A = this chain, B = another copy of it.
Amino acid sequence: MGRKPLRSTDDAQPGGTPSPEATEVPEKRPGSGRMGRRTFVVGAAGILGAGVLKGLADPAHAQEAQVIVPDDPTKVQGPTASLVGGRSPFEQPERFLHPQLTSSRTPLQELHGTITPSDLHFERHHGGVAHIDPDKYSLLVHGLVERPMVFTLRDLKRFPSQSTVYFMECSGNFPRNASEDTLPQQICGLTSQSEWTGIPLSTLFREVGVLPEATWFLAEGQDAAVMTRSIPVEKAWDDAMIAYGQNGEALRPENGYPARLFLPGWEGNASVKWLRRIELSDGPFQTREETSRYTDPLKDGKVRQFSFVMDARSIITSPCYPDRVEPGWLELRGIAWSGRGRIRSAEISFDEGATWHAADLQEPVLPKAHVRFRYMWKWDGREATVLSRTTDETGYVQPTQQELIEARGVGTRYHLNPITGWRIRTDGSVVYRTEEWA
């Protein structure tokens, strides 16, 4: 499956000039980053002998700059051990930036397995990334409680902890009317997965003595948007966490460092980051982000409010645009997930959904988690369409786009999880299977 990019970008490399000795010019994959960048590989002479010197323009990749790639690595002593490792200069996955720089999307098409590296986890913020001094951090829990309390980060870390793998998905994770040159990253890169560490929210609720009349709570962030959302108390008694760890390390700043609310399987926005206050109440607070936004307009003029659960969804991440495949055996690969629990099945269709074929699910299949699915398929070289759909343990089946529109009309931007797929042309090129949102 061709992972070769199809076009280059035009940005010159600071500190480097295209060299006539250049032996190769790797080009950017389209769409894999908003800011284009060209990577030059120039012939390197001198004490290290024949080889190529890879320099990168982006300071975020300073670690990878100036790496020598010898023609024969067995003849050249390599670099020594380092305090913090970097990526190969040949592997530079990037998030896809929203034009307003308020979100970035995980490069699903470049990932294997189920874990999302923390520096590629999608981000979405309403007032930029808050940077917080952990020694000054505190969390107030008050309202309908017996004992209002303030917890420092150190307090939170003393409680019994848990580590669980969960996906996190933004409810606005589908571009309507996307064109053929669309990447998985653009279709649903607002979902990512980590091993989250923290404490059950129920621990804090027992600590403060939540009163029986408390049915909702407000979660408030310490960012410039002062993000606020209302959450039913039941979620705290179920599986809500206060998370301070992500993939082994501390939360990343764009994911709520030093501590965030984490509501497994629910829309990302409700898992308030940089959490500073929880207020128990006898009803929802009707905050800006649950009235003006994060509600789903329906076709009858009404709206669905507090539509927290992320419905089951799947996507084939390989092959995909802009791959070019060859006839013969291919492994179709993708991910499936559901906010309601475990994935029961992922299926592939080659006939626009008339018939479906069960894909293999990678074990262990964890609840409220991305599951990797795979299906071996022999492509005969004729034009083909490949679709995926998933069913979760509650029996919920991922809908077609038409079924979604029939249920909700065309006005909503949230909680869109239609079946999607790819067209493979006779020349092996792969494009997004477009479908007009109407």
Chain A interface residues toward B at CB < 8 A:
1, 24, 33-35, 52, 58-63, 67-70, 73-91, 93-95, 97-98, 101-104, 110-121, 123, 125, 127-135, 154, 157-163, 195-197, 222-224, 226, 244-245, 247-254, 257-258, 274, 329-331, 333, 362, 364, 366, 372, 374, 376
Contacts and interface: CB of A to CB of B under 8 A. Distances in A.
Given A81-B123, A249-B112, A364 B362 contact: no
Nearest to A362: B163
A73 B1 CA distance: 46
Give chain A's interface secondary structure class.
loop
Given A78-B128, A111-B249, A112-B249, A84 B94 contact: yes
Contacts of A253: 67, 85-88
Nearest to A101: B80
Given A34-B83, A158-B330, A127 B78 contact: yes
A283 to B, nearest CB: 25
Contact of A113 (B135, B158, B248): B248
Given A60-B62, A114-B195, 17 more contacts: A59-B63, A67-B253, A69-B131, A73-B131, A77-B224, A80-B101, A80-B128, A85-B121, A88-B131, A90-B258, A93-B249, A112-B197, A112-B244, A112-B245, A117-B117, A117-B247, A117-B248
A158 B374 CA distance: 12
A191 B247 CA distance: 16
B88 A258 contact: yes
A333 B245 CA distance: 14
A249 B148 CA distance: 44
A120 B85 contact: yes
A127 B75 CA distance: 10
A83 B33 contact: yes
Contacts of A91: 249-250, 257
A185 to B, nearest CB: 12
B73 A223 contact: yes
B161 A67 contact: no
Contacts of A67: 131, 253
Contacts of A329: 158
A114 B247 CA distance: 8
A104 B131 contact: no
A228 B52 CA distance: 26
A362 B196 CA distance: 12
A344 to B, nearest CB: 18
Nearest to A254: B85
Contacts of A86: 60, 119, 252-253
14 contacts: A1-B158, A58-B83, A67-B253, A69-B131, A73-B131, A74-B224, A78-B128, A78-B131, A79-B129, A88-B132, A113-B197, A114-B163, A160-B331, A161-B333
Contact of A81 (B62, B88, B101): B101
A156 to B, nearest CB: 12
Contacts of A222: 73-74
Contacts of A248: 111-117, 120
A127 B81 CA distance: 10
A164 to B, nearest CB: 8
A337 B73 CA distance: 34
Given A78-B224, A161-B112, A247-B115, A69 B104 contact: no
Contacts of A69: 131-133
Contact of A84 (B1, B61, B114): B61
Nearest to A83: B94
A158 B87 contact: no
B78 A125 contact: yes
A263 B93 CA distance: 27
Contacts of A110: 249
